[in-house]
Amino acid sequence: MRVSEMFMATQREIPADAEIPSHQLMLRAGLIRKNASGIYSFMPMGFRSYKKVEKIIREEMDKAGAQELIMPALLTAETYQASGRWEKFGPEMFRLEDRSGRPFCLGPTHEEPFTEAVRDCIRSYKQLPVTLYQIQHKYRDEKRPRFGVIRAREFVMKDAYSFDCDEEGLDISYQKMYKAYRAIFDRLGLDYTIVDADSGAMGGSGSQEFMVKSPIGEDGICFCDECGYAANEEKAECMTPEQDTSAELPVEKIHTPGVKTIEELMAFMNAQPSEFVKTILYNIDGKIVAVMVRGDREINETKLGNLFDATEMNLAAFDDVERITGAAVGFAGPVGLKEKIEVIVDREVSVMKNFIVGACETDYHLKNVNIGRDFTPDRIEDVRTAVKGDKCPRCGKPLGTARGVEVGHIFKLGTKYSDALGCIYLDREGRSNPMVMGCYGIGVSRTLAAIIEQNHDDDGIKWPVVVAPYSVIVIPTKVNEEENMNLAEAIYKRLQDEGIEVMIDDRNERPGVKFKDADLIGIPMRITVGRRAGEGIVELKYRAGGAVEEVSLEEAVMAAKSLVRSAQ
């Protein structure tokens, strides 16, 4: 490709709304273009890399025996009503109507249409198992789209669904996908961690996420270097610590006027956050419950939601809190509640002694509260989010934490969708059974961004060869000098003949401008035709690093060939 003819739109300035390197670089290098908030076009250069990611995914999925098809993105409401997700998706689903007022949506994920298709086509155990996949646009009306294609409202996903006779079959299908995913992310050169993920209360028996560690990640990961345990923080289990055996002290009621936050309370009472227990009221599907965690801990709403198999969960409304506690918001506690509600105590709190809680009376707290003596919890559960230094649930060593971007997710669904949609088969004895399903996603556009997050420097992208839009760029420094240009053209032609994806920057620009663009776009190898063109000598430089080498035309071609081979 000739740069002079290329539809390319690199930008010198960092766009103001681009907060992270991959988003900035994809815009600056002209790989993507923003159409609207969370909606992007892939421009020619970006689309080349995008297609390479897709190709690797497709090859590994096919190798694992999955069959590709394509479903519509425009789907009827009925498709999602039977599973209950027409309601459950809420405002995240893009909804629309056809000309006769019939409701439709833009598919946020495709469990239902795949289940319908298999239900309508498969009758017998003899036709199972089957794994189907597609690479397609998905639509979610994110509250806050950000990070470019990492959290977009329209994005490309590879989604696969497996259908088996039983759990044992699902285990095999799941393992095949697990292996395929490892092969995909290995080939893409990503440094990733496989973590145990939340599979929800309704979800089947297991779920794992493929995470790329990154400070901008929206997911927290807990991991143990000792035994290899790794889990999403939504899932990571918190163990019950040792029982505090201190003597129980008498309860004291303390006047704490205007003191509402833990910080204010700490200062006021000259105590550590670990001596407080906060009591938070939730409205879970219309029922108010109180949840108690240590003052410096976060309630894990995924764990909490799973306890109740919650559809909708929010903090309780102020008037509910005031009615139930008989106090202003900020003074809730387990003692003196005006209405009987379920009180859930975190495992960690269950072994504490003499802690401080809200007094259920405006401007008052209680000190030296103890479980059993002063109140009795309805349930003791694991409802907090694990933090750095917590004990590993497997081996007891301290956990580390990191942020991660989820690029893949594999999930044992069980019979949730087959039960809801009547996706059954007849077994050997002629009895009908629901098919046992798994689902498997990869964010295709997001994976491309994750690759950039892991492969860039201040000058631009450093593409791994497998996904680079072009492998080599030839830069003549003096396009008006015949000798210079002839050698550049000769190398360009040779590389094309060798089947190498090559660009030539034949623009009448200063070399510095061309170098800057080549670095920004991140082409893995740069061949510069400069002052020694007359001797047939060119300069070779790798975007990954290293010094400039002076080589002959043939040596440059050899180096390019071995670079491309190394990526296959």
> 96 or 395: whose CB is closer to Zn ion?
395
Looking at residues 368 to 397 of the shown chain, list those that interact with Zn ion (rule: CB under 5 A): 392, 394-395
> 223 or 276: whose CB is closer to Zn ion?
223
Sheet holding 549-552, edge to edge: 502-504, 472-476, 525-529, 537-542, 549-552
Taking contact as CB under 5 A, which single stretch among the options 4-12, 216-224, 322-330, 379-387 is the one that binds Zn ion?
216-224
Tally Cβ neighbours within 10 Å of residue 270: 6
> 219 or 226: whose CB is closer to Zn ion?
226
Residue type at 209 in one-letter notation: E
To the nearest whole angstrom, how small is the minimum distance from the Cβ of residue 190 to Zn ion?
Answer: 24
To the nearest whole angstrom, how small is the minimum distance from the Cβ of residue 193 to Zn ion?
Answer: 14
To the nearest whole angstrom, how small is the minimum distance from the Cβ of residue 385 to Zn ion?
Answer: 18
Conformational region of residue 18, where left means phi above 0, alpha means psi within -120 to 50, and beta covers everything else: beta
- Is residue 224 close enough to count as binding Zn ion by CB under 5 A? yes
> 382 or 517: whose CB is closer to Zn ion?
382
Half-sphere exposure of 562 (CA within 13 A, CB side): 6
To the nearest whole angstrom, how small is the minimum distance from the Cβ of residue 223 to Zn ion?
Answer: 9
Q: Whole-angstrom Cα distance, residue 469 to residue 518?
A: 11
To the nearest whole angstrom, how small is the minimum distance from the Cβ of residue 226 to Zn ion?
Answer: 5
> 224 or 316: whose CB is closer to Zn ion?
224
> 231 or 451: whose CB is closer to Zn ion?
231
Q: Whole-angstrom Cα distance, residue 84 to residue 271?
A: 48
Residue type at 467 in one-letter notation: V
Q: Whole-angstrom Cα distance, residue 330 to residue 365?
A: 10
Q: Whole-angstrom Cα distance, residue 341 to residue 292?
A: 13
> 393 or 476: whose CB is closer to Zn ion?
393
- Is residue 558 close enough to count as binding Zn ion by CB under 5 A? no
Q: Whole-angstrom Cα distance, residue 331 to residue 344?
A: 17
* Positive or negative torsion for Cα 552, 556, 558, 562: positive
Beta strands in 61-218 (DSSP E): 67-68, 74-76, 94-97, 103-106, 130-139, 154-164, 192-196, 206-213
Helix (H) / strand (E) element for 41: namely strand 39-42
To the nearest whole angstrom, how small is the minimum distance from the Cβ of residue 302 to Zn ion?
Answer: 21
To the nearest whole angstrom, how small is the minimum distance from the Cβ of residue 395 to Zn ion?
Answer: 3
Q: Whole-angstrom Cα distance, residue 26 to residue 43?
A: 10
To the nearest whole angstrom, how small is the minimum distance from the Cβ of residue 208 to Zn ion?
Answer: 17
To the nearest whole angstrom, how small is the minimum distance from the Cβ of residue 236 to Zn ion?
Answer: 11
Binding-residue total with Zn ion (CB under 5 A): 7
Q: Are 418 and 162 in contact (CB under 8 A)?
A: no
Cis peptide before 129 (omega within 30 of 0): yes
Looking at residues 408 to 437 of the shown chain, list those that interact with Zn ion (rule: CB under 5 A): none
* Of 439, 438, 432, the residue nearest 125 (C-alpha): 432
Q: Whole-angstrom Cα distance, residue 83 to residue 65?
A: 28
> For Zn ion, what does the binding mask look like between residues 76 and 115, x meaning CB under 5 A?
----------------------------------------
List the one residue from 226, 489, 498, 509 that touches Zn ion (CB under 5 A): 226
To the nearest whole angstrom, how small is the minimum distance from the Cβ of residue 54 to Zn ion?
Answer: 37
Looking at residues 227 to 286 of the shown chain, list those that interact with Zn ion (rule: CB under 5 A): 227, 229
> 226 or 489: whose CB is closer to Zn ion?
226
To the nearest whole angstrom, how small is the minimum distance from the Cβ of residue 381 to Zn ion?
Answer: 22
Taking contact as CB under 5 A, which single stretch among the options 49-57, 193-201, 222-230, 266-274 is the one that binds Zn ion?
222-230
Q: Whole-angstrom Cα distance, residue 487 to residue 476?
A: 8
Q: Whole-angstrom Cα distance, residue 154 to residue 134?
A: 16
> Taking the C-alpha atoms of 302, 307, 310 and 314 in order, what is their torsion angle to the nearest 10 degrees?
-60
Give me the phi and psi of 359, to 5 degrees please. Answer: -95, 5
Taking contact as CB under 5 A, which single stretch among the options 75-83, 220-228, 242-250, 547-555 is the one that binds Zn ion?
220-228
> 103 or 400: whose CB is closer to Zn ion?
400
> 226 or 419: whose CB is closer to Zn ion?
226
3-state percent breakdown (helix, strand, coil) of the chain, nearest 5: 30, 30, 40
To the nearest whole angstrom, how small is the minimum distance from the Cβ of residue 394 to Zn ion?
Answer: 5
Looking at residues 187 to 206 of the shown chain, list those that interact with Zn ion (rule: CB under 5 A): none
> 236 or 360: whose CB is closer to Zn ion?
236
Taking contact as CB under 5 A, which single stretch among the options 34-42, 43-51, 138-146, 226-234 is the one that binds Zn ion?
226-234
> 152 or 231: whose CB is closer to Zn ion?
231
Two tokens at 319?
A: 């008037």
> 229 or 492: whose CB is closer to Zn ion?
229
To the nearest whole angstrom, how small is the minimum distance from the Cβ of residue 197 to Zn ion?
Answer: 17
Residues that bind Zn ion (CB under 5 A): 224, 226-227, 229, 392, 394-395
